[in-house]
Amino acid sequence: MDLLNTLVDKGLRRELPTREEALAVLATSDDDLLDVVAAAGKVRRHWFGRRVKLNYLVNLKSGLCPEDCSYCSQRLGSKADILKYTWLKPDEASQAAAAGLAGGAKRVCLVASGRGPTDRDVDRVSETIKAIKDQNEGVEVCACLGLLSDGQADRLREAGADAYNHNLNTSEGTYGDITTTHTYADRVDTVQKAHAAGLSACSGLIAGMGETDEDLVDVVYSLRELDPDSVPVNFLIPFEGTPLAKEWNLTPQRCLRILAMVRFVCPDVEVRIAGGREVHLRTMQPLALHLANSIFLGDYLTSEGQAGKADLEMIADAGFEVEGAGQVTLPEHRTGEAGGCGSHAGTGCGPGADAGCGSHAEAGCGSHEGGGVCGTASASPATATPADEPRTDLVAVRRRGAGTDLAPNA
């Protein structure tokens, strides 16, 4: 297919595809899907080999958010039966992080719900960053605290933060349809503040909220312009008790095409599969590793993910390897400017209050709070759910890990 050959050539040169080319990827048929994955996989392997970076979420403060993001179970007015608790103490957060690091994660994402941190909150998170770094040499720490005020990014950087997450989530033209308590421009401003402070910027999107192909291309092109080092791709989990509870618009094939489009537009950045991979990719998750070079290990902010052991087995069975603590994630031309975990210099893909380091859970740092039930067994052929029916059985509220007395999933 001439389109795919052209996109591979452009990806290897870090050249921006045309909008028509990006839209054409999303419009490919299921018959061409493996060709699309193979082509985008060439670009992924050129820049990142067969390495998979593992990230681990710690929800520092769950629920009780004043923002009204439609996708989020922690939103104002949410009726979702999620865990609700105030700030974890630094030692509690450090213990939670240790579980993920022991499982192979090299980055810890510290997330707190809310519009944005107060100066006291920044002090609190700074103490947590210090506690984690004192006990875990070489660990990367990403903060995801919502909208930043002047000077707060610098303070987080001084405290030892390596990165800051704030997702754009959707296109500027449709942003007002999902959130009214802050603007798209507010999110862009926070990503720019992180850049200016020397933090590695992490910003991504949420697919499956009823957006058009044009909306998806718009937000990914906006991200490329903002140029973050990592781009989390979340797949909406329609959480009961939220306004988007009935939006089951994704198939595994659709998710793979979206990931391929992101890889072609953002060839040399860390593309991370974030919330919703278990719910929407399901048994196709291993194919997604040919497109993305980063995932979250274990559970998300307010929902449970695939068992950590299953994640590691999936990576190995698919012929990939977990990226080691001593390996640099980003290509050489992007490293060296942003705290050692990557730089926002170069022609990368760029950017969000809530969704965190890959999450659409307000200020969430890694997932839009979805995730499959840990240890869920596949249905037998006789009882398998038809592909076009919602898989509500794969959505489970997190009841373990941070904020509970139960061991975390890592």
Pick the catalytic residue from 14, 75, 107, 142: 142
Q: Which long-range contacts (CB under 8 A, 24 or more apart) does 333-336 make?
A: 333/268, 334/229, 334/268, 334/269
How far, in Å, CA of 102 to CA of 141, rounded? 15
How far, in Å, CA of 93 to CA of 141, rounded? 12
- Is 255 designated active site? no
Pick the catalytic residue from 51, 65, 187, 357: 65
Cβ(361)–Cβ(368) below 8 Å: yes
Cβ(74)–Cβ(22) below 8 Å: no
Which amino acid is located at 272 in the chain?
R
Alpha helices per DSSP H over 197-338: 213-226, 252-265, 285-288, 308-317
Pick the catalytic residue from 44, 72, 263, 357: 72
Q: Is residue 142 annotated as involved in ligand binding?
A: yes
Q: Is residue 374 annotated as involved in ligand binding?
A: no
Cβ(74)–Cβ(301) below 8 Å: yes
Q: Is residue 19 annotated as involved in ligand binding?
A: no
Q: Is residue 365 annotated as involved in ligand binding?
A: no
Q: Is residue 357 annotated as involved in ligand binding?
A: no
Give just the sign of the alpha carbon dihedral 60, 61, 66, 72.
positive
- Is 109 designated active site? yes
Q: Is residue 109 annotated as involved in ligand binding?
A: yes
- Is 69 designated active site? yes
- Is 142 designated active site? yes
Q: Is residue 144 annotated as involved in ligand binding?
A: no
How far, in Å, CA of 14 to CA of 407, rounded? 43
How far, in Å, CA of 302 to CA of 65, rounded? 13
- Max distance between CA atoms of the chain, in angstroms, equals 59
Cβ(182)–Cβ(147) below 8 Å: yes
Pick the catalytic residue from 263, 272, 334, 398: 272
- Is 72 designated active site? yes
Cβ atoms within 10 Å of 338's Cβ, excluding its own: 25
Pick the catalytic residue from 202, 255, 349, 365: 202
Pick the catalytic residue from 51, 75, 109, 187: 109
Q: What residue numbers does the annotated binding site cover?
A: 65, 69, 72, 109, 142, 202, 272
Q: What residue numbers does the annotated binding site for [4Fe-4S] cluster cover?
A: 65, 69, 72
Where in the sequence numbering do the catalytic residues fall? Answer: 65, 69, 72, 109, 142, 202, 272
Q: What residue numbers does the annotated binding site for [2Fe-2S] cluster cover?
A: 109, 142, 202, 272
